[in-house]
C-alpha cells in the first residue's frame, strides 16, 4: 500500500516546528537567540545571508598589499553594489559582507541609502560599536513636544536590562554622572591623546553645558570568557578573530549554541508570517530557500522579527490575510510609517599648534565624544531635540618637496596636529516618512518591491546648521587655527541607524507594539530590532535595541509559561 500522505505531511511539519523562530541574525536576532535558548526553548534562527563562522573571517589578517586595488573599490564593485558604495564602511577588504544591490533592488521615491549586510551576523560584524544608554530626556521627548506618540516605557524599565547587556558584551568607557547620558557597567576606558586632553580642558572650562569624554564602545579592554582584548588594529570592519568587539558571531551565537537549543539556517529569505484566523495567532513563517528558489514553511509558538527595520516592515506588509488586509498587526495603519535615521554629513577641523613632542599609541577603535547639550535644559535654539559630536586628534604626515632618500626620511617623521569633529543629530518621527510595497513590480523572487519615501525636514536642517556654529566656537575657544567647517546633510539611511516602522506605544490605535515589544494584535509576535523605536534620540541605538530584546525575551517566556501566548 502507498504511504499515508497525511502522515508524511505531519512528519514534515514536525521536522519544521520549533518553540521559537527568529528572523534575522544581526545584533538583536543574536541576542534573542541567546536569551531564548538559555531559557530552554528550541530556536530556529533564519538568515537570508551566507554563513560566516567565528573566527574565520577571510580578510582579517591580510596586509594592504594583499588586495588587488590596495583597499580601493573597483568600478565593478561600485556597479554591483551601487547603494552599498555610498557608505564609508564599504571597502575592498569587507565587500564580501554586503548585499548585492543589482539583485536586491528597491524603489527610492526619495533617496534612501539602505546599507545592509548579507551574512550570518548581519551588521553586528560591521557596526561602529558605539554604546550609549538612553535617558528619560529621550523617552519623554515625544510626550513633551508632541511629536510621535509617547513611549510606553521609561529609563527605569530598561536600566536593569542595560546592566544585563553591558555585563555580557563588554563596554569600555568612563563614568561621568551626566543625566542625559546615564553611566553603565564599564571596562576601563581607552585613553585620550595629549591634544584631545587639552581640547577637553578648554571646552569644559569655556562651556558649562559641555563635556568631552572618551567614547563608550563594545571593544574589550579586558578579555572575557572566550574573547580576547582589543589589539587596536582598527580592522573591526573585517571581522575580529580575537572576538575583541561584540558581534553575534563571536558572542551571543556561541552562547546560544552552547545550550544545544539553536538551529541556524542561512540563505533563508523570509517572505511572510503565517497567520491562523481562527486561533488569531501567528503559526510560523514562509521562506524562500535561496539555493533552490523553493518556498518552505516553518512553525513555532513564538515569532521574533529581527530582520532590521526596512526588511521587517516588508515582512509585515507582505503578510496579508482577511484579518489583516494591510499587513500583519497593522490595524493602526502605522506599519511602515515613522521611518527615522540619524542625520550626519557635517565635518569640522582645525590645526593645532605645539605638542610636537607628543604622539599616540595604536589605532584606537573609538573617538572622543561630546554628549548632547542642546535642548537639555533650555529650548531656544530654533529646533527640537539635539545632537552629539565625535572627534579625534591626529598628526598629519610630514610635508616635503624633496625627492629620493631625503623624501623617504621626511615621510618617517610626523607632521603637525589637527583635530576633526563630526556629528549625529536626531530625526523627528514623521508619518509620511515610510516604507510601502510596490505590487506592480516584482523582485528576483517574485515578491513586491519595497518602496522607500523618506527625507530630512526643516527641524533636521536647522539642527545641522547649528552643528557648524557650535563646532566652530569650541575649536576657536581652544585656540586652534585654520578652522574649516563643511559637509552637507546626509541622506536618510546613510547613518545606518534606520528605525521606526513598527513603533511601540500605549494605544493599539496609534502603535504596533506594546511596552514589551509584543504586537498589540498578534500577541505571539515580538519585534525588537530598530522597527520598534518610537523616537530616534541622537545616540547610536544598538545598545538600546539589545536591552529591549533581552527584556522582551524575558517577558515572552514568562507569558508563554502562563499560557497567555
Question: DSSP characters for 76-113?
Answer: HHHHHTTTGGGSTT--TTTGGGB--TTTS--EESS---
User: Is residue 388 within 8 Å of residue 466, measured between CB atoms?
Assistant: no
Q: Alpha-carbon distance 198 to 479, whole Å?
A: 10
pLDDT in tens, 514-529: 999 999 999 999 999 9
Q: Alpha-carbon distance 546 to 28, whole Å?
A: 6
Cell numbers 497567520 correspond to: 275
User: Is residue 375 within 8 Å of residue 381, measured between CB atoms?
Assistant: yes
Integer Rg of the chain from CA = 24
Domain boundaries, the chain: 11-58+109-172+216-338+498-565, 59-95, 189-215+343-425+457-490
User: Is residue 193 within 8 Å of residue 352, measured between CB atoms?
Assistant: no
Select from 3.40.50.2300, 3.90.550.10, 2.60.120.310, 3.50.50.60 the CATH code of 11-58+109-172+216-338+498-565. Answer: 3.50.50.60
Q: Alpha-carbon distance 416 to 351, whole Å?
A: 8
Task: Kindly give, in sequence order, each residue whose CB lies less than 8 Å from that of residue 215, ignoring residues fewer than 6 positions away.
Answer: 130, 173, 190, 366, 367, 368, 369, 390
All three cell numbers of 184, joined, read 553603565
Given this model, what pLDDT does residue 400 score?
67
All three cell numbers of 240, joined, read 575580529
Q: Would you say the pTM of this structure is higher than 0.75?
A: yes
Query: DSSP string of 6-17?
Result: HHHHHHHHHHTE
Cα–Cα distances in Å, from 551 out to 133, 295, 522, 539? 15, 33, 18, 20
Number of Cβ within 10 Å of residue 301's Cβ equals 18
All three cell numbers of 518, joined, read 509584543
- Scored b (16 or more CB within 10 A) or e, 189-203 reads bbebbbbbebbbebb
Q: Alpha-carbon distance 469 to 485, whole Å?
A: 9
Q: Per residue of the chain (565 residues), what is the pLDDT tens digit?
A: 334 434 456 777 889 999 999 999 999 999 999 999 999 999 999 999 999 999 999 999 999 999 999 999 999 999 999 999 999 999 999 999 999 999 999 999 999 999 999 999 999 999 999 999 999 999 999 999 999 999 999 999 999 999 999 999 999 999 999 999 999 999 999 999 999 999 999 999 999 999 999 999 999 999 998 999 999 999 999 999 999 999 999 999 999 999 999 999 999 999 999 999 999 999 999 999 999 999 999 999 999 999 999 999 999 999 999 999 999 999 999 999 999 999 999 999 999 999 999 999 889 999 999 999 999 987 778 999 999 999 999 998 777 677 777 667 766 789 999 999 999 999 999 999 999 999 999 999 999 999 999 999 999 999 999 999 999 999 999 999 999 999 999 999 999 999 999 999 999 999 999 999 999 999 999 999 999 999 999 999 999 999 999 999 999 999 999 999 9
pLDDT in tens, 320-362: 999 999 999 999 999 999 999 999 999 999 999 999 999 998 8
Q: Report angle CA 473, 474, 479 to the nearest 5 degrees.
A: 95
Q: Alpha-carbon distance 12 to 34, whole Å?
A: 26
Task: Kindly give, in sequence order, each residue whose CB lies less than 8 Å from that of residue 524, ignoring residues fewer than 6 positions away.
Answer: 281, 282, 301, 302, 303, 565
Q: Alpha-carbon distance 281 to 2, whole Å?
A: 35
Beta strands 43-46 and 17-23, pairing class: parallel
Cα–Cα distances in Å, from 369 out to 89, 123, 174, 388, 437? 20, 23, 11, 7, 39
All three cell numbers of 207, joined, read 562651556
Given this model, what pLDDT does residue 404 score?
79
Given this model, what pLDDT does residue 9 score?
62
Q: Which of 477, 555, 545 is nearest to 516 (CA)?
A: 555
Number of Cβ within 10 Å of residue 422's Cβ equals 19
Amino acid at each position: 500500500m502507498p504511504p499515508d500522505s497525511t502522515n508524511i505531511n505531519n512528519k514534515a511539519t514536525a521536522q519544521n516546528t520549533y518553540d521559537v523562530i527568529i528572523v534575522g541574525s544581526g545584533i538583536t536576532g543574536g541576542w534573542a537567540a541567546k536569551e531564548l535558548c538559555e531559557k530552554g526553548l528550541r530556536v530556529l534562527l533564519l538568515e537570508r545571508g551566507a554563513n560566516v563562522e567565528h573566527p574565520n573571517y577571510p580578510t582579517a589578517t591580510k596586509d594592504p598589499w594583499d588586495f588587488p586595488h590596495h583597499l580601493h573599490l573597483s568600478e565593478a564593485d561600485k556597479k554591483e553594489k551601487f547603494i552599498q558604495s555610498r557608505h564609508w564602511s564599504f571597502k575592498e577588504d569587507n565587500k564580501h559582507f554586503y548585499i548585492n544591490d543589482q539583485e536586491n533592488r528597491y524603489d527610492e521615491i526619495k533617496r534612501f541609502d539602505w546599507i545592509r549586510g548579507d551574512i550570518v551576523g548581519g551588521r553586528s560584524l560591521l557596526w561602529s560599536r558605539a554604546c550609549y544608554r538612553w535617558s528619560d530626556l529621550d523617552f519623554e521627548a515625544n510626550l513633551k513636544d508632541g511629536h510621535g506618540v509617547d513611549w510606553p516605557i521609561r529609563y527605569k524599565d530598561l536600566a536593569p536590562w542595560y546592566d544585563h547587556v553591558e555585563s555580557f558584551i563588554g563596554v569600555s568607557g568612563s563614568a561621568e554622572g551626566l543625566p542625559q547620558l546615564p553611566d553603565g557597567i564599564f571596562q576601563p576606558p581607552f585613553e585620550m591623546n595629549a591634544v584631545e586632553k587639552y581640547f577637553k580642558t578648554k571646552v569644559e572650562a569655556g562651556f558649562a553645558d559641555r563635556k568631552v569624554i572618551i567614547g563608550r564602545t563594545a571593544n574589550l579592554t579586558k578579555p572575557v570568557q572566550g574573547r580576547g582584548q582589543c589589539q587596536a588594529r582598527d580592522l573591526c570592519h573585517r571581522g575580529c578573530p580575537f572576538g575583541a568587539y561584540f558581534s553575534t558571531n563571536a558572542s551571543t551565537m556561541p552562547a546560544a549554541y552552547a545550550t544545544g537549543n539553536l538551529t541556524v539556517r542561512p540563505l533563508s529569505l523570509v517572505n511572510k508570517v503565517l497567520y491562523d484566523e481562527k486561533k488569531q495567532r501567528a503559526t510560523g513563517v514562509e521562506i524562500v530557500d535561496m539555493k533552490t528558489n523553493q518556498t518552505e514553511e516553518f512553525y513555532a509558538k513564538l515569532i521574533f522579527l529581527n530582520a532590521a527595520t526596512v526588511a521587517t516592515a516588508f515582512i509585515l506588509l507582505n503578510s496579508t490575510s482577511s484579518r489583516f488586509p494591510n499587513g500583519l498587526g497593522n490595524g493602526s495603519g502605522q506599519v511602515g510609517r515613522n521611518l527615522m535615521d540619524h542625520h550626519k554629513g557635517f565635518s569640522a577641523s582645525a590645526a593645532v599648534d605645539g605638542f610636537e613632542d607628543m604622539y599616540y599609541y595604536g589605532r584606537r577603535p573609538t573617538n572622543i565624544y561630546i554628549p548632547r547639550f542642546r535642548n537639555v535644559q533650555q529650548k531656544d535654539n530654533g529646533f527640537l531635540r539635539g545632537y552629539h559630536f565625535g572627534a579625534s586628534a591626529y598628526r598629519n604626515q610630514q610635508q616635503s618637496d624633496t625627492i629620493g632618500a631625503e623624501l623617504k626620511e621626511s615621510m618617517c617623521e610626523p607632521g603637525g596636529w589637527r583635530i576633526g569633529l563630526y556629528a549625529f543629530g536626531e530625526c523627528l518621527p514623521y508619518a509620511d516618512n515610510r516604507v510601502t510595497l510596490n505590487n506592480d513590480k516584482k523582485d528576483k523572487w517574485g515578491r513586491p518591491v519595497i518602496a522607500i519615501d523618506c527625507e530630512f525636514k526643516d527641524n533636521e536642517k536647522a539642527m545641522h546648521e547649528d552643528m557648524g556654529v557650535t563646532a566652530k566656537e569650541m575649536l576657536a575657544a581652544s585656540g586652534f587655527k585654520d578652522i574649516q567647517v563643511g559637509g552637507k546633510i546626509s541622506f536618510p539611511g546613510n547613518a545606518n541607524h534606520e528605525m521606526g516602522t513598527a513603533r511601540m506605544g500605549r494605544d493599539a490605535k496609534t502603535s504596533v507594539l506594546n511596552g514589551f515589544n509584543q504586537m498589540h494584535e498578534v500577541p505571539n509576535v515580538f519585534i525588537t530590532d530598530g522597527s520598534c523605536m518610537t523616537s530616534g534620540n541622537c545616540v547610536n541605538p544598538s545598545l538600546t535595541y539589545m536591552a529591549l530584546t533581552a527584556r522582551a525575551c524575558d517577558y515572552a517566556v514568562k507569558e508563554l509559561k502562563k499560557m497567555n501566548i
